Amino acid sequence: MVVRVSDEVALAWEQIQQEALAVLKRESMLKAFLEETILERASFAEGLGNFLAKILETKVMPSSVLYQVFIDAYRQDPHILDCAVKDYKAVISRDPASSSLSVPFLYLKGTQALQAYRVAHFLWQNDRKDLAYFLQSVISKFFAVDIHPAAKIGSGLLIDHATGLVIGETAVVGDDVSILQEVTLGGTGKESGDRHPKVGNGVMIGAGAKILGNIKIGEGAKIGAGSVVLTEVAPHTTVAGIPARPVGRPKENMPSLGMDQSLETKEPICTTGCGVICAKII
């Protein structure tokens, strides 16, 4: 089954195959792995669909069946593949540990989980919610990343390390966002309806941050590691603490691209969880 793709996607697959050949020259023990995942696959859709299906297969859902689910999704919505390539390019531009497109494709579970989510989201939008839930459950099991298939996520994302990431049903995440491990975009309790955060473009969310409730995180904001965010964050504002409060402004217009996780405040920030500037009370 032919999947029509953009020139960008086709060129990305050519690059990934060339990178795989270079790796093969350096490390012959990876020959079978690289042939199965990349070198014997004719297209990006075939390679990605096959690789994800092999990872996520279960006794009741063999890889051959999952592969067809992925290929059908790519055929009906080739934009899924465009988003994947943008995600891979985001990783190699922001993560110094990743120097080639084949690294996020083969090894980074945050990017892999995101691509599997994109198919689950496609299924959800096309009223195949039970299969979408099934995919969510196996994604959570194999990648330790729990993204509700109804959540709306843009492209150009870096999900770094990824373990413990939770994104709720009505969450919205914009383009060019960077998210580190153990982040939660969740609700505040048992409320129903629209109850999860809305994250703007270019936002950086530090490790372990919890953003709770139907609140807006403005474009270009930075959320400090370990923060608990319960109220809206203005665009191009840095917040930190428990509960989070403004501590400065990011040095860059889109902090997600620079990945600078330092805080821009000139005053010491409390690390005990009291949420105030300790220097003012000592």
Considering the domain architecture, whether residues 209 and 99 belong to the same structural domain is answered as no
Is 280 inside any structural domain? no
Whether residue 212 is found in the same domain as residue 249:
yes
| Strand boundaries in 96-244, DSSP class E | 145-147, 152-153, 158-159, 165-167, 172-173, 178-179, 184-186, 198-199, 204-205, 210-212, 216-217, 222-223, 228-229, 238-240
Q: Do 201 and 100 fall within a single domain?
A: no
| 3 — pLDDT class (breaks 50, 70, 90) | confident
Same domain, 261 and 234: yes
Same domain, 3 and 138: yes
Domain boundary, last residue among 76, 110, 145: 145
| pTM score, whole prediction | 0.91
Specify the pLDDT at position 265. Answer: 59
Are both 237 and 176 inside the same structural domain?
yes
Q: Is the pLDDT of residue 132 over 60?
A: yes
Specify if 127 maps to a domain.
Answer: yes
Sign of CA dihedral 251, 259, 85, 152: negative
Q: State how far the Cα of 148 lies from the Cα of 135, in Å rounded to an integer.
A: 10
- Average per-residue pLDDT for the chain: 93
3-state SS of 79-94 is HHHHHHHHHHHHHHHH
**Per-residue pLDDT, 39:** 97
Last residue of one domain, picked from the residues 145, 175, 198: 145
Locate 252 and state its tokens. 């860059």
Enter the tokens of residue 231.
């109220």
Mean pLDDT for 220-243 is 97
3-state secondary structure of 18: helix
Percent of the chain at pLDDT > 70 equals 93
DSSP letter assigned to residue 29 = G
Lowest-pLDDT choice from 1-10, 191-200, 222-231 = 1-10
Supply 55's token pair: 């990872």
| pLDDT higher at 99 or 134 | 134
In a domain, 150, yes or no: no
Regarding whether 26 and 129 lie in a shared domain, the answer is yes
Q: Considering its fold, how many domains does the chain have in total?
A: 2
Tell me the mean pLDDT in the region 81-95. 97
CATH (domain of 261)? 2.160.10.10
191 — pLDDT class (breaks 50, 70, 90): confident
- Are both 6 and 129 inside the same structural domain? yes
Q: Which residues contact 152 (CB under 8 A, 6 or more apart)?
A: 121, 171, 172, 173
Is residue 153 in some structural domain?
no
Residue 21 shares a structural domain with residue 122 = yes
Q: Categorize the per-residue pLDDT at 1 as very low, low, confident or very high, splitting at 50, 70 and 90.
A: low
- Sign (positive/negative) of CA torsion 248, 252, 256, 259? negative
Give the residue numbers spanning the domain of 55: 1-145
- Is residue 158 included in any domain, yes or no? no
Clarify whether residues 195 and 250 are in a common domain. yes
**8 A C-beta contact, residue 113 and residue 91:** no
**Residue 243, in any domain of the structure:** yes
Q: How far apart are CA 144 and CA 139, in angstroms?
A: 7
Question: Does residue 128 sit within a domain?
Answer: yes
Distance, CA of 157 to CA of 171 (rounded, Å)? 15
Same domain? 122 vs 209 = no
Q: What is the CATH number of the domain that holds 7?
A: 1.10.3130.10
Stretch among 77-81, 210-214, 270-274 having the lowest mean pLDDT: 270-274
274: DSSP letter = S
The average pLDDT across 221-226 equals 97
Question: Is residue 133 domain-shared with residue 13, that is, in the same domain?
Answer: yes
Domain ends where: 145, 174, 190?
145
Residue 87 is assigned to a structural domain of this protein: yes
